[in-house]
Structure formats: C-alpha cells, structure tokens
Amino acid sequence: MAGKANILQSDVLKLIFQATGIAIVADNTATAPLTNLFVSLHTADPTNGGTQSSTEATYTGYARVAVARSTTGWTISGSSPTGVSNAATVSFPACTGGSSTVTFVGIGTTVSGTGKLLYSGAITSPSGGLAISNGITPSFAAGQVTVTED
C-alpha cells in the first residue's frame, strides 16, 4: 500500500501547524488546545525516539521559541511531498555565556522540560551546524525551518 494521499499530507500539516481540523477525522476542539509549537536547538540528533530535551542546547540564555499554530506562524505548500516552513523569523535568545554547536532543530509541544518532540532535522546551513558563543543570537529567516510529509 502506498503512503499518505497528497490531500492528507496537507491536512495533517495544517492540523499540527495551523490548528485546522480535518473534517470527520480530527478536530481542534480540545478543552485546552495547544496554541503554540516550540522550536528547539540540539547539539546532536535527538532521534525519533527522543524528547524535546534530548541533546538540547544548554548555553546561558537559551530558551525554546514559541511559534503560533496559525497561518502567521507556519506556511504550508506543495504536494507529494507537502511541506511546512516558518512564516516569520525565529530568533532565539542571545547567548550570554558558555557555548554550543547546534546541528539539529526540533519542533515540539512544550516551552521547557521533556516535551513531545514532533519533528526534528539537521541544520544544513552553515555546514557543520551553527556555532553559538557569547553575544550570538541564533535565528532562522522565514522559510528556513522546514518539514515535509510524504
């Protein structure tokens, strides 16, 4: 059997990233629906079995960044595969001490702690990851954090 139909790829990403229900399959009417997703930085692959805190960056000042589950937070495009990317710049707090080389980015469900890791992927530019030290503010321009469904 083949994978997800093109329309379901798009619908799943819209449900997760834009809080748009899938008619007769899933809605977004939970008592306390998740209004943001949280982007995290990682020093190694957090793996498919990991959590949002697996290999997470620890430089002084680091915190996950909230991105709204909406069309202002995420842009969905294409088909087979359908992709989603950040609609605006995602800027992390500046490093005020210590250092990290982050090689992966994650998207999860909590602002801190273990959290459920929904997606993760390698940072492809700059090659070898992003070196963070005192005074550096890591950020990703619109369209640089991308996820594809296939």
- Is residue 139 a part of any domain in this protein? yes
Looking at residue 7, its pLDDT comes to 76
Q: Is the pLDDT of residue 122 over 60?
A: yes
d(CA 144, CA 86): 7
Across residues 44-69, what is the average pLDDT?
A: 95
- Is residue 1 a part of any domain in this protein? no
- Is residue 40 a part of any domain in this protein? yes
Domain encompassing residue 86: 6-149
Residues 6 or more apart in contact with residue 144 via CB below 8 angstroms: 85, 86, 90, 125
- How many folded domains does the chain comprise? 1
Contact 10, 72 (CB under 8 A): no
Q: Is the pLDDT of residue 112 over 80?
A: yes
Looking at residue 29, its pLDDT comes to 66
Proportion of the chain above pLDDT 90, given as a percent: 63
Q: Name the helix (H) or strand (E) containing 6.
A: helix 6-18
d(CA 11, CA 6): 9
Q: Is the pLDDT of residue 92 over 90?
A: yes
Lowest mean pLDDT among 22-31, 37-46, 81-90, 106-115: 22-31
Looking at residue 2, its pLDDT comes to 57
CA distances (Å), origin 77, targets 98, 105, 126, 144: 38, 20, 24, 14
Looking at residue 126, its pLDDT comes to 84
